[in-house]
Amino acid sequence: MRINGEETDILRSYRSNDAEGRLVIMLNNYAVFPKIIRKAEKKIQYKIKSEKEYLRSHARGELGVRVQTSGTSDPTFNEASTNIMIEDAFKTGEVDKGLLKGIKDASVYEKDIRLVSVMRMDFELLEEIIEDLDENDSKIMKQYLVEGRLFKEIADDEGRTYEAIKKRMERIRAEIREEILECLEMNCRGGE
């Protein structure tokens, strides 16, 4: 089952799934998962920055047009500060309350940031587990997950039968599942 469409669909699916479901989502979208995470981050960052700019403009009585004033406000510093706070939030999953102060639906942004942080952490663990497999198993999994090669193609390259590769892939997936599931379950507590 591949999940196509917007990263918001993946975020929604990831949020609502248990550890087993999250593993399936990551494996089925392995080649594009880092891109999905980056796109989600960029969209959330864009929305937060737009909301903050709207609040600043509204507080100055502007109609949404950014104008450099001679006041003590430093828009460049404010933007740099916001960027740093957002980057830290995505790394740690913890949002500085000042980042979302006054923003409508701040709790939604906070939950999305936490979820993206968890997704990145989960995926990095999955990558590490796949990398640490036996060299041949790792190679086969990467051919399947990253390159999108079919079992038959892998079997032909390995000089094995389709059934042998299929059974080997099932064994590898079970090994990955056994190693990662406990950690994923820890991040599913509380729905995030």
Nearest to 111 by CA among 22, 18, 11, 7: 11
3-state SS string over 33-76?
Answer: HHHHHHHHHHHHHHHHHHHHHHHHHHHCCCCCCCCCCCCCCCHH
| pTM as predicted | 0.80
Q: What per-residue confidence (pLDDT) applies to 62?
A: 53
**54 near 123, Cβ under 8 Å?**
no
- pLDDT value at position 31? 96
- Look at residue 70 and tell me whether its pLDDT is greater than 70: no
Q: How confident is the model over 112-138, as pLDDT tens digits? A: 999 999 999 999 999 999 999 999 999
Distance CA 155, CA 166 (A): 9
What integer is the mean pLDDT of 100-120?
Answer: 89
DSSP 133: S
Average per-residue pLDDT for the chain = 85
Q: What is the mean pLDDT of residues 153-163?
A: 95
pLDDT for res 143: 96
